[in-house]
A = this chain, B = another copy of it.
Amino acid sequence: MRIQDVAQAAGVSVATVSRALNAPDKVTPQTRLRVQQVAAEMGYTPNASARTLRTQRSRVIGVVLPTLLNPVFAECLEGIASAAALAGYAIQPFTTEYRTEREDHAVNQLLAGNVDGIILVVSNPDSSDALRRLAAERLPYVLAYNQHARHPCVGVDNEKAVAELIAHLSSLGHERIAMVSGLLKASDRAKQRYRGYRDGMRRAAHAELPLIEVPFVQTAAQEVSALLRDARQRPTALVCSNDLIAIRCIRAAHLAGLSVPGQLSVTGFDGIALGQDLTPMLSTIAQPNADIGKHSVALLAQAIAADAPLTARSSVTLAHQFRAAESCARAPTITPPSSDS
């Protein structure tokens, strides 16, 4: 089914068909109507590749993100998908599993694929070859979740968010607060959040506790529960760098026989929807995940329309929100030495 077939059936030239469909004003109402009618009943849809080749516009947005197994990115992609659909774009996502060589591969594919713009979540903007290469092209792109001074970004202020959280915990009487994180080197967000922890602890004048880095999320619960069994140094609150880790820390507490939040408060970061269905309901720094996606699409769409790449000046920091819930409570009062000893 080609444009030519429609032209023939409607008794006009291909140019007229093209115009009737793409620029209805440039054609007589009568012919327009007839052409549209014929096209509709023939079920004609223009060939996207031919159109892309000709116009140099694909109406496809590329997306590069770490994984869909963490709901935070699934929620974001859902936001991207819906905003893209509304704006008439399709999406083409690639997952990297936090591996930079896969970032490279994805960007290559996307560049070759004539996408109109790219949304990406990279491990680390500073060290990403893919990003460097992309920035050298004239193609609009925007980073999601990443924060960087020299790239267009959409996200929240990670450092500030955690610092605020520490202040809040401190106001609840917590002093022994530990941070639990994935590998810092795998994610700039983790680094920024840890920085927020250190900053917050300094301001609250509490001694920092060693960072608990859990390399493999699968084994996180075991590892953390082992740590928690050591009662002497046990923290009263765990600040986790994301919700999945927080959920596993709650599990760890259970395995160690600790009640949450009775004996241990646990907070997450991301605000995945599921956190609100758990018992205890997850306290977390909620990011507007769908909005991060939608905003990214909006920026790209605007850049595409303006035919100009985005710059760091387009960056937007969206509001985060601490969602206080059941997994977090006042610090347990220190058991006074038993009076009859």
A4 at the interface (CB under 8 A from B): no
Interface of chain A: mostly helix, strand, loop or mixed: helix
Residues on B with beta carbons closer than 8 Å to the beta carbon of A93: 81, 91, 93
Question: Are B277 and A112 neighbours in the complex by a CB distance under 8 Å?
Answer: no
Residues on B with beta carbons closer than 8 Å to the beta carbon of A50: 49, 53
Query: How often does this chain occur in the complex, in copies?
Result: 2
A262 to chain B, nearest CB (A): 14
A252 to chain B, nearest CB (A): 10
In the complex, A81→B74 CA distance in Å? Answer: 13
Binds B, one of A40-48, A147-155, A159-167, A294-302: A40-48
In the complex, A50→B114 CA distance in Å? Answer: 10
Also in contact, A75 and B85, with CB within 8 A (given A49-B53, A277-B251)? no
Interface positions of A (Cβ within 8 A of B): 45-50, 52-53, 58, 60, 67-69, 71, 74-75, 77-78, 81-82, 85, 90-95, 105, 108-109, 111-114, 221, 244, 247-248, 250-251, 254, 273-274, 277-279
Residues on B with beta carbons closer than 8 Å to the beta carbon of A45: 108, 111-112
Question: Are A92 and B95 neighbours in the complex by a CB distance under 8 Å?
Answer: no
Residues on B with beta carbons closer than 8 Å to the beta carbon of A53: 47, 49-50, 53
A60 to chain B, nearest CB (A): 7
Residue of A47, A68, A94, A250 contacting most chain B CB atoms (<10 Å): A68
Q: Show 29 residue pairs from A and B whose CB-CB distance is below 8 angstroms, ordered by the A residue.
A: A47-B53, A48-B113, A48-B114, A49-B113, A49-B114, A50-B53, A53-B53, A60-B92, A68-B68, A68-B74, A68-B75, A68-B77, A68-B78, A69-B71, A69-B273, A71-B71, A71-B74, A81-B94, A81-B95, A82-B95, A90-B92, A90-B113, A93-B93, A244-B274, A244-B277, A247-B277, A247-B278, A251-B277, A254-B279
In the complex, A81→B279 CA distance in Å? Answer: 33
